[in-house]
Amino acid sequence: MMYAMGIDIGSTASKAALLDENGKIVGKEIVPIGTGTVGPQKVFNQVLESADIDKEQIAWITATGYGRFAFEGINDQKSELSCHAKGISYLMPDIHTIIDIGGQDIKVMTINDKGGLMNFVMNDKCAAGTGRFLDTMAKVLDVETEDLSDLSLQADEVAEISSTCTVFAESEVISKLSSKIKTENIVAGIHKSVARRVASLAQRCGVKEEVAMSGGVALNNGLVQSLEEELKCKIRVHEDCQLAGAIGAALYAYEGMKRERME
Ligand code: ADP
């Protein structure tokens, strides 16, 4: 049996997905460190180990993500937009708008029925509203990023955070903490501020239902709910949302493997 691998080397996390000759997903792994670290090599080894196969059984590797040009031994590379579009339409076929929030960028894209990219909008270079912004706010609050969702869902009031800039928002959070405002309410305010920013980006792209979120930040259900309120529509999240880019890349790798066989 030969296999096709998709590897998504992000700014914050490395992800890999493995398909067998029948196009079935037989391995998927996430390592929470990204480009410029041992993360990419680690996720590569981990996915082989979890599927119990050798390196020699990989017929094609497609890389995507911010760090895709730095990984050696790949057969080709694809943009993150193409891979998220392909991955999400494979996981959730009825989706027409994807909001992908990763470690350092926000991308909104609309796709057609075949998963082809129609339009997209990205954030500027600023960290506002990204995973990094949420990670920084979690640190200031002395909580884990993974706990932000539960905390915001326990809020009884939303403590407004008016700055979108990471540095100013950090000062605002510190000032709210010193005024004895509950952490839960501050987290709800942080989510609202991120949701407002993401919603305005999404509206610039044009929102066509159904809408899905991909990327690691989609695991934050509190933020997803806040964004649903801003966009006034339901947002679907697949349990493999953070792996959507790697799965899309693996689907491209599968096509590469089949093409090579026909030649
Ligand atoms: P990239 O592709 O840029 O490396 P990812 O799509 O992998 O980014 O997302 C990384 C971000 O996902 C992190 O910055 C973190 O904020 C967020 N994240 C990861 N796991 C969780 C979780 N369980 N709950 C909330 N946020 C999470």
> How do residues 177-230 score in pLDDT, each as one tens digit?
999 999 999 999 999 999 999 999 999 999 999 999 999 999 999 999 999 999
Other CB atoms within a 10 A radius of the CB of residue 185 amount to 19
Pocket of ligand 1 (CB under 6 A): 10-13, 34, 65, 102-104, 131-132, 134-135, 145-146, 215-217, 219-220, 242
What is residue 50's predicted lDDT score, i.e. its pLDDT? 95
User: Tokens 């964004």 — which residue?
Assistant: 227
What are the pLDDT digits (tens) for 148-170? 999 999 999 999 999 888 899 99
Burial 91-101 (b: 16+ CB within 10 A, else e): bbeebbbbbbb
CA 73 to mean position of chain CA atoms: 24
**Which mutation among 149, 220, 225, 238 tests ligand 1's pocket best, with the greatest number of atoms within 8 A of CB?**
220
Q: Whose CA is nearest to atom 12 of ligand 1?
A: 216
* Terminal-residue alpha carbon distance, the chain: 19
Q: Whose CA is nearest to atom 18 of ligand 1?
A: 216
Which strands, in side-by-side order, build the sheet including 106-111?
117-122, 106-111, 97-101, 211-214, 235-237
Q: What pTM does this model have?
A: 0.95
Q: Are 132 and 104 in contact (CB under 8 A)?
A: yes
**Which mutation among 122, 214, 217, 240 tests ligand 1's pocket best, with the greatest number of atoms within 8 A of CB?**
217
CA distances from 110 to 9, 18, 141 (A): 23, 26, 35
CA distances from 9 to 17, 31, 33, 188 (A): 12, 10, 9, 30
